[in-house]
Amino acid sequence: MEGQLGDEIVTIKPDSDARRLHGKSHYGKLYEDRLQISLIEAAHLMERGKLTLKRDDDEVSMEEFISLLAEKGLYSKYLVYRDLRNRGYIVKTGFKYGAEFRLYERGGAPGRTHSAYLVRVISENDTIHALDFSSYVRVAHGVNKKLLLAFLDDEEDVTYYLVDWIRP
């Protein structure tokens, strides 16, 4: 498939491959005349050899695209997204909930089930304030989801911590 790079999204003409990609793997949003995917989704598809990317008429290499993700502050989110997708999860944006991602249980999917987790991406050297941490947990609990903290270390390895609300 071939995608056209925009400022914040990638647009793909909805041929049968794009429709199948959206229908089976739940990438992006399908409109009548196009499939729109996020930059993070595009990077994952490029890495897997399923997407070539163009800006105007020039092809964008994976290295150029990774540099663009880093400039936009998306590289760490991409590493977590890639790890979760490679583990077989469906991952969608979590902006509505103040998180980076929503995560569906294996076998679940948008339109069939609700997402089970909100995922927050935290770099190893980040500082988390107690009030922020509390608000992450409160929001997740309020929307009936569990909080998954994805810690990214300097070697780009991801460690996950499940945070759940309990009543003593």
Lookup result for tokens 């399923």 = 50
- Terminal alpha carbon distance of the chain: 52
User: DSSP assignment of 58-99, as one string?
Assistant: EEEPHHHHHHHHHHTT-HHHHHHHHHHHHTT-EEEE-GGGTS
User: Which tokens sit at 71?
Assistant: 């400039």
Alpha-carbon distance 91 to 113, whole Å?
A: 13
Catalytic positions are 104, 114, 145
Are the CB atoms for 35 and 7 separated by under 8 Å? Answer: no
